[in-house]
């Protein structure tokens, strides 16, 4: 039986299951001559190229969105608890 390839592409999506080394990991995430997305050093798909300024903007946007969700998520939960805090019975009508 033939050996299965450890790297290649399936339907245009790259995969690589070779054992990663530290040098390969570092060089795959920092490629100044490439675009925003580069092939992952291990696994399936793409990863961000940290040498591209577009990747840093994408990371900043994600960070701001996560921070905003945490800030507004806690306030919405507190308001919901205050509104339903009467403790009385609830009437439900089903047609």
Does this model's pTM top 0.75? no
pLDDT value for 20: 85
Mean pLDDT within 35-56: 93
Domain ranges of the chain: 1-51, 52-82
pLDDT at position 31 over 60: yes
| 32 vs 95, more confident | 32
Look at the chain and count its residues: 95
User: Residue for token digits 């990371």?
Assistant: 59
pLDDT value for 70: 93
The structure tokens listed for 9 are: 């592409």
pLDDT value for 49: 94
CA 30 to chain centre: 18
């Amino acid at each position: 039986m033939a050996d299965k390839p450890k790297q290649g592409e399936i339907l245009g999506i790259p995969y690589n299951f070779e054992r990663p080394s530290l040098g390969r990991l570092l060089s795959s995430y920092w490629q100044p001559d490439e675009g925003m997305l580069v092939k992952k050093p291990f696994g399936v798909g793409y990863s961000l190229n940290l040498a591209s300024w577009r990747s840093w903007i994408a990371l900043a946007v994600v960070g701001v969105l996560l921070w905003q969700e945490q800030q507004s998520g806690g306030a919405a939960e507190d308001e919901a608890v205050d509104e339903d805090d009467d403790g009385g019975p609830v009437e439900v009508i089903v047609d």
